[in-house]
Chain A
Amino acid sequence: MQLSVNCDLPEAPPASLMDLRRGDAAILDAIDLPTDDARRLMELGFLPGAQITAGRSAPGGDPQVFQVDGSEIALRRETARRLTVRRKKAGKLDTTPRA
């Protein structure tokens, strides 16, 4: 909810995947997880620089499905929280009406 405001500012504080609403797209910045776990995520397409779109979620919002690199991967919030993203301009514009 706060994010839409942050994005308009020139220097937005880093957001995490968890902050994305359905339909929001963002660029992955970094993964703050142990090497093995990060590597597994990277093999699934969660690479720094990759575009990630938030999809549907289980009831209650956890876990959430993310569209990344041609597939749909579900992550728990506790994991999504560790993936920092940069907002994509176009993505933001896309989603404003929906959010």
Chain B
Amino acid sequence: MSGCSDCGSCNSATVVEFPGSRTAPKAVAVIGPPNSGKTTLFNRLTGLHQKVANFPGVTVEQHTGIATLADGRSIQLIDLPGVYSLSPRSEDEQVAYDVLTGKRSDTAKPEAVLLVLDSTNMGRHLMLAAPILALGLPTLVILNMADDLRSRGGRVDLQKLSAELGAPVALVSARRGQGIDQVFDFLAGAMTKPSPKELPILQDVPKCRAWAGHVGSQASYRPPVPPKWTRRLDAVFLHPVAGPLLFLTVVVAIFQTIFTVAAPSQTAVDWLIQQFSNLVASGLPNGLFKSLLIGGVFKGVGSVVVFLPQILLLFLFIGILEDSGYLARAALIADRTMAKVGLQGKSFIPLLSAYACAVPAIMSTRTIENKRDRIATILIAPFMTCSARFPVYLLVIAAFIPNRPLLGRLLSTGAAAMLGLYILGFLMAVITARLLKSSILKSGRTPFLLEMPSYRWPTFTSLGLRLLDRAKVFLVRAGTIILLVSVLLWGALNLPYTNGHPPEISASLAGTVGRTIEPVIKPLGFNWKIGIGLITAVFSRETIIATLGTIYGMDESSNKEGLQAAIHHDLSPGGAVALLVFFAFAMQCISTIAVVRRETGGWKWPILQFSYMTVLAYVSAFAAFHLIG
């Protein structure tokens, strides 16, 4: 922190005193206990958009990013999963330990450490300082959440603390950006090895805690008063009656809002795409290329992109719930259910994040120490309704269920159907877990521990970054996988060429494939067009919309009526329900299969999971079609 008091002068653009690009960037690790705000700080320093939430265990893999200093040098930052100590017990702690000690080949050994501690709970968090300082790497001790500490009347003498720890200390608020300069100063300045006055025996937890307490009192640490608002809010959210009711209300309100804005937002985006498509069409000569662009690309990709506003809205709500700290309470309320099916509360958080996408959810199962519990959680995660199923549900529900009020203005039929599908997925996950835990994945119980974070206001930056990130993921997928599939599909629909004319759709290559598999899917109430959609949906679920958009777009008659009407025309009500059920249960996602293989270390589990889910989807869709007709 000292060597760079003249940083202002480094700022002048002409002076390049440091060999910026000549040497590889220094690697610096960011470590701290769970939910101490490491990732928020990391994002502040690097401008990267890692997922942050107000509950422990959000980061399960090391992420790297580059922090650019005022003088133009860059430093590689490694964001590590939260750990309570350096004696690893779960996979995410193992990752942190291995990176710090340079045992991981894929990550550079860090030359310095940013130790992030929650200043509002410094007594306990300082325990981690002992093993970190013992590593002997240059360390900056960052007391985060300074805003909380101050507002709740806590204080600490930084100079005395620094003297006691033998390492520089900074009091920052990563959320508000206060004190971040000091972190940059540390990264830019001379990093000296720590020289603490004394360190406890690391294996002895009571000794470590006593040491942390001693250091705290030497630094005249006054812990903040308990968060008043958290107690007050918990009195409501954890109330035996009001709590679960509120939980239900929140969920219903989210679905209802998404459904209320559905029609206008889709019309708006659709209109934009149509205008753009017309503009492009008017500038192109008639021919194959125009047909590909308008019929393949715009129809296909466009029909998926219209769902962007609703996806973003869903993530805005999830983001608010996560950042505020409410989700930890939801996990607490739901733990009973998890316990009944033999899973621990820790499984709940991966399952919640599976509502966004099963891939990060499966990665976040690393926080579960028990191997069998972890595999069970991985196997049931894809049943949770991910955001790729969301547009499919929206489309089919809008096409078949007239949106009428069900409970006054509180809940409409469409929103209720959507909620029902989410519950269906969750129930199937729970049933599957019960089956697994009472058969092949029996295990002893491990204690359930869940830290309840204080409630915090979600910040606009955090929510904004998150939405930007989701929009990017969604659009990138629309612009790559879905675009590619749309183009290939367009080709397959226009081949074979006879006498210079494209074939009838049913006689085309794609049509032939569709009609070949038709006997298999006919019992579910699907025709060959849906069949082609099911095949392309293997790449990712929402691709079926692009596929149907392209297929129906090529058909003159259905092109006029629009995708919703075309689907309504082609499916019986029973077939529609069968389609929804099929999508609820089938494992149509290559990325999920790949991540399950990686996380379980072999093909056994992904194959079992894929077969189970496919058979279940087929049988359930069959039953739905024949029951409803």
By a beta-carbon cutoff of 8 Å, the part of chain A in contact with chain B is 33, 36-37, 39-45, 47-49, 55-60, 62-63, 65, 67, 69-76, 78-79
Contact = CB atoms under 8 A, between A and B. Distances in A.
Nearest to A71: B121
A70 B447 CA distance: 21
Given A58-B332, A58-B333, A70-B120, A40 B89 contact: yes
A47 B449 contact: no
Contact of A76 (B120, B234, B448): B448
B223 A63 contact: no
Contacts of A45: 124, 209
Interface of B: 84-85, 87, 89, 120-121, 123-124, 127, 205-206, 209, 223, 226, 234-235, 238, 240-241, 243-244, 332-333, 335-336, 339, 345, 369, 445-452
Contacts of B446: 37
A76 B447 contact: yes
Contacts of B447: 33, 37, 40-41, 75-76, 78-79
Contacts of A79: 447-449
Given A59-B244, A79-B447, A43 B234 contact: no
Contacts of B235: 56
Given A56-B235, A74-B448, A43 B127 contact: yes
Given A41-B447, A43-B127, A63 B87 contact: no
B452 A43 contact: no
Contacts of A42: 205-206, 209
A56 B335 CA distance: 14
Contacts of A69: 121, 123-124, 209
A73 to B, nearest CB: 6
A56 B121 CA distance: 20
The 6 closest A-B pairs by CB, nearest first: A79-B447, A72-B452, A43-B84, A42-B205, A56-B238, A70-B121
B244 A63 contact: no
Contacts of A74: 332, 335, 345, 448-452
Contact of B336 (A36, A37, A41, A62): A62
Nearest to B206: A47
A33 B85 CA distance: 19
Contact of A36 (B89, B226, B345, B450): B89
Contact of A73 (B87, B123, B451): B451
Given A70-B120, A73-B452, A75-B449, A58 B335 contact: yes
Contacts of B333: 58-59
A65 B333 CA distance: 11
Given A71-B121, A74-B332, A76-B345, A58 B451 contact: no
